[in-house]
Each structure stands twice: as structure tokens, then as C-alpha cells.
Amino acid sequence: MTSEFSVRGSRDIVADPSARPETTEAEAVVLFLTEGGVATGAAADLDRATGGLLTRLVAGGEVTGKRFETVPLLAPPGLRTPQLLVVGLGKRDDLDAGTVYKAAATATRQLAARPRTRVALVADGSWTTRQMEQAVAGAAVGMVGQDLYRAERKRTRFGTTVWIGASPEAVERGSIIADGVNLARRLVNLSPEDMYPQTFAEEAAAVAGRTGLEIEIWDEGQLARERCQAILAVGRGSHRPPRLVVLRHRGRAGGDDVPDLALVGKGVTFDSGGLSLKPSESMLTMKCDMAGAAAVLGAAATIAALKLPVHLVAAVGLAENMTGPAAYKLGDVITARSGTTIEVHNTDAEGRIVLADVLDVVKGLGPRRIIDAATLTGACMVALGYDVAGLFTNDQPLCDALAAAARSVGEPVWQLPMYAEYDDQIKSEVADIKNVGEGRWGGAITAAKFLERFVGGIPWTHVDIAGPAFAEKPRPWIDGGGTGSMVRAFVEFARGT
């Protein structure tokens, strides 16, 4: 099995700043091309080496450089490689780190369809450091598929990936970022029979050991002593008890011990809906309901491995939402750790109940900011579709900074409103609040309003990743399954902190 963040794993991606693409010996060489951009840089070198082949193909319209177009040129004259794969980056003026990530991933995803010992990619000298890093990350993500349980693999990692013209530092950082994304993807892709609260906690402990994160795991006894009745209620229908994992990275030298940032993740390892049982079709992909926790673990591990100078807390609430004899019921009133009482109207609105306790634990550590990630509502997908994550906040500057970080690495986000009027919808006749709004309209917002009750005024942004966390169908740059959504955004945000 792959283990991200292991030393061996990071050395199969290397920088060769001085190599020349035209003399490189590799089973394939990847060239990135902007629209009409054969005149300069590596494209010009390769064009010359191939006797003007690229110029002719561009003139004839066979190669355009349009975003994510891939054209394999086999047995290119004048080169030592049997394949030159030309990948489009779109218009030069529109080029950003997100485009480079996806273009690199598109190229390697295609090449990884069969085993290869050595593939070279040519970084463009005009790229910024961020673009270089994201290209390296994308390439390392694209070559990993969802083959965890398949004899016949659809993707095989290259033996060695060589980055020509890239700095060793950018390659190192890009590989680490890819480890975070691939970790999150793998945890989501594991069968829920293998990935449940205890095994998630074990994975977290292993990752903590490899990256230097401090870790604390609360089992059901500790959860009870800590009055985490909300997490315990959601987990009661399963024979696999809940867990809460707290990770810490102390990256700031000197100063206070206050966490600059707390990341919080929803880790429902399988969401059957509980007694408010989901229909079969909606249940099929519900192993993805721990994608928020996976993103938080992936980001925390990356932040630690990059040794970012921030104090970070990362906490995930892990539970399996099932229908067993002790399952929590409609009409139950739960006293959350904060003391707030919750009337259960729908056991399928379980994520917010789990997060109520995790947010309260994190609040107690006094972080300057809290960001949570959760596959929280189908309503968010109705609003924004598959690719865009919803943002909800009690602090506009924090939300703006997170949105900017996410967009800068190509993770699309869109903010939804938090008007006070929505609060009325979660009032309960018998408890402080109930766990659903009135009817399904605005369901992503009423869910966020519920979470807001547990952050106690600390600047906070909630990211609903129900859409982007899981790809039911493959995209040119990624196989289906877990996408690692928000890992890169959170890392980028932490770097700006």
C-alpha cells in the first residue's frame, strides 16, 4: 500500500534544473504549450530540435495549446524520447496555478495508463514558483488512480518523474502537497468496511509519526468523559464506536502558544442516513462523507511536512451513521459538549451534530481562526453543482482570504449568505435548536447556521464540499472517486497566515 509522506515516496520525483529536453532519455517527455506559444522557451528549443515540427503542427491547427488539449507526438524526429506529449495551457494571459495543476495532472493521468519507469516534464521558465509547485503537485496526483482493490490497475505511478527546468525546492514542495492530496483521496476511496473511525484514527497516527504532528485520539470512554454526547449519539447505531482526533503543529518560533488556525473536519465514515434512512442510490457514495476529515488530515500533514511557521490545530470527528438497535432517534434531545441542547428531527442531518462537539473542543483551545470542511448538505450541490464548494462565514475578511487562497490554486468556491433570518428556522419547541431547517429550501445555509452556534464568535468559515469532494465520473485530470478537495486551498491559506 502507498504511504504518503514517506521518505521513499518523495524521492521518486526529482528536479533536473540543467537537463535539456531535447537530449533527455525518458519514455515520454511532457511539453506545456500556451496558445500559439512555440516562439520561446522549451517549446522553441524542442521545435528547433525537431526541425520545426511544432511550428508546422501549430500552423496546420493540429496542435493549438488550448486548455488541457493533449497531443502525443510519437517517435519525434531529433529527440531521444519515443513520445513527446504536448499539453495545452490555454491563453498565456489567463495562466494561473490551478490551470498548470490540472494540465500537468491531465498529462500524467494519460501517461500512467500503463507502467513507465521514467517520465520527464518540462517546466516553463516563465512560471512563478507557485505555478511550478502546483504543476509538480498536479503531475503527482494525476498518475494516481482509484485502484486500491483492483487486480488490473488503471494507473501506475511512474518509477521516476523528472522535472526539467524546475528548482529542487519547488519540486520538493510540490511533491509534499501532492502527498497531502493523495492521502485525502486514498482515505476517501477506501471501502467503508476498511475506513471507519478506529482505522481513520490509526491512519492519522501513522501520518503524524511521519510528519512530526502531535496527535491525541479520544476513544468512546474519553468522549464520554469529555461530554461529547453529540458525536456519541450519531455513532450509537454502529458497532464501531466514534473517535475524535486532535493534531497539532507548532511551527512558529517563540511567541505565544495560541493556534493561528484551527482546521475542523467532518469524518462520517459512512452515512446511511441512520433511521432517516437514505434511499439506496443516495447511499452508494456515502463512504465519501469523511472527506472533510480527510482534507483536514491531508492539509495538516502537508503543513507540518512543509514546516510552515504557523501554530495549527486540526481536529476531526469520526463516526459511522448507522441504524443499529441503539441508534439515535427522531425526537431525541442531545446535550452537546457546549451545553446547547439539540432536538433531532432527522438523523440524516448528522454531520452538523458531529461538528457541534468538534467545534466546541477546538474553541476551547482558543484559536485565532477556525475553518471547517464538511460534506454537509445535498442542498449545497443543488445550489453550486459538483465542482464548487460553498463558503459560509461569520467573518468576511477570513472568508475573503480563504476564497483568494482557494482560487489561486484552482479550487473554485462561492460564498452563500448568512442572514439572521435563517436562524429562526433552527429554533426548536423543546430544545435550544433542532438539527434541520423548515423544509429543504436554503438547507446548506441552515446547516451553516447550526454550526455557527458552536464557534462562539471566533472568526470562522465553513466550507461545504459535498459537491467537489467526490467525482462520480472521471475528469481529464483526475480519476473518479475522492478528489482531495480543499487540501491545496488550506495549505495555501496557511502559507499566507
By CB under 6 A, tell whether 443 contacts ligand BES: yes
Q: Which is closer to ligand BES, CB of 259 or CB of 443?
A: 443
Amino acid at 97: A
Place of cell 514546516: 307
DSSP-based three-state secondary structure for 351: helix
Distance, in Å, from the CA atom of 487 to the CA atom of 302, rounded to the nearest integer, reads 8
Q: Taking CB within 5 to 8 Å according to partner kind, which of Mn ion, ligand BES, Zn ion, none is near residue 379?
A: ligand BES
Q: Taking CB within 5 to 8 Å according to partner kind, which of Zn ion, ligand BES, Mn ion, none is near residue 343?
A: none
Q: Least separation, in Å, of the C-beta of 358 and ligand BES?
A: 15
Q: Least separation, in Å, of the C-beta of 7 and ligand BES?
A: 35
Cα angle 211-215-219, degrees, rounded to a multiple of 5: 140
Contact 416, 383 (CB under 8 A): yes
By CB under 5 A, tell whether 289 contacts Zn ion: yes
Do the bridges between strand 389-393 and strand 413-415 make them parallel or antiparallel, or are there none, so unpaired? parallel
Q: Which is closer to Zn ion, CB of 90 or CB of 351?
A: 351
Q: Which is closer to ligand BES, CB of 95 or CB of 379?
A: 379
Kindly tell me which residue out of 164, 379, 451, 494 binds ligand BES, with binding defined by CB under 6 A: 379
Q: Least separation, in Å, of the C-beta of 479 and ligand BES?
A: 18
Single out the segment in contact with ligand BES by CB under 6 A; choices: 12-20, 377-385, 396-404, 423-431.
377-385
> Catalytic: which of 278, 368, 407, 495?
278
Q: Which is closer to ligand BES, CB of 185 or CB of 311?
A: 185
Q: Which is closer to Zn ion, CB of 53 or CB of 268?
A: 268
Complete DSSP assignment for 398-451: HHHHHHHHHHHTT--EEE----GGGGGGGB-SSSSEESS-SSSTTHHHHHHHHH
Single out the segment in contact with Zn ion by CB under 5 A; choices: 7-15, 66-74, 128-136, 268-276.
268-276
By CB under 6 A, tell whether 483 contacts ligand BES: no
Q: Least separation, in Å, of the C-beta of 282 and Zn ion?
A: 10
Distance, in Å, from the CA atom of 412 to the CA atom of 403, rounded to the nearest integer, reads 8
Q: Taking CB within 5 to 8 Å according to partner kind, which of Mn ion, ligand BES, Zn ion, none is near residue 436?
A: ligand BES
Q: Taking CB within 5 to 8 Å according to partner kind, which of Zn ion, Mn ion, ligand BES, none is near residue 90?
A: none
- Name the strand (E) or helix (H) holding 249: strand 243-250
Name the residue with the smallest CB distance to Zn ion. 271
Q: Using CB under 5 A, which residues numbered 294 to 353 contact Zn ion?
A: 351
Site string for Zn ion, 193-232 (x = CB under 5 A): ----------------------------------------
Q: Whose CA is closest to 426, among 341, 332, 330, 307?
A: 341
Q: Which is closer to ligand BES, CB of 198 or CB of 346?
A: 346
Q: Which is closer to ligand BES, CB of 131 or CB of 238?
A: 238
Q: Least separation, in Å, of the C-beta of 296 and Zn ion?
A: 16
Binding site for Mn ion (CB under 5 A): 271, 348, 350
**Count residues contacting ligand BES (CB under 6 A)?**
15
Cα angle 33-81-126, degrees, rounded to a multiple of 5: 30
Contact 36, 58 (CB under 8 A): yes
- Name the strand (E) or helix (H) holding 35: none
Distance, in Å, from the CA atom of 288 to the CA atom of 303, rounded to the nearest integer, reads 23
Contact 457, 394 (CB under 8 A): yes
Amino acid at 422: Y
Contact 305, 179 (CB under 8 A): yes
Distance, in Å, from the CA atom of 361 to the CA atom of 84, rounded to the nearest integer, reads 53
Distance, in Å, from the CA atom of 123 to the CA atom of 167, rounded to the nearest integer, reads 9
Q: Which is closer to ligand BES, CB of 338 or CB of 377?
A: 377
Kindly tell me which residue out of 189, 375, 461, 483 binds ligand BES, with binding defined by CB under 6 A: 375
**Count residues contacting Zn ion (CB under 5 A)?**
4
Distance, in Å, from the CA atom of 116 to the CA atom of 160, rounded to the nearest integer, reads 8
Contact 33, 88 (CB under 8 A): yes
Q: Least separation, in Å, of the C-beta of 159 and Mn ion?
A: 42
Site string for ligand BES, 323-362 (x = CB under 6 A): -----------------------x-xxxx-----------
Q: Which is closer to Mn ion, CB of 63 or CB of 322?
A: 322
By CB under 6 A, tell whether 466 contacts ligand BES: yes
Distance, in Å, from the CA atom of 483 to the CA atom of 183, rounded to the nearest integer, reads 10
Distance, in Å, from the CA atom of 206 to the CA atom of 114, rounded to the nearest integer, reads 30
Taking phi over 0 as left and psi of -120 to 50 as alpha, with beta for the rest, 52 belongs to left
By CB under 5 A, tell whether 271 contacts Zn ion: yes
352 is catalytic: yes
DSSP-based three-state secondary structure for 247: strand
> Catalytic: which of 186, 352, 363, 488?
352
By CB under 6 A, tell whether 426 contacts ligand BES: no
Phi and psi at residue 259, to the nearest 5°: -65, 130
By CB under 6 A, tell whether 293 contacts ligand BES: no
Q: At what angle do helices 351-363 and 443-452 cross, to 10 degrees?
A: 30
Contact 28, 83 (CB under 8 A): yes
List of residues contacting Zn ion (CB under 5 A): 268, 271, 289, 351
Q: Which residues bind ligand BES (CB under 6 A)?
A: 271, 289, 346, 348-351, 375-379, 436, 443, 466
What residues are labeled active site? 278, 352
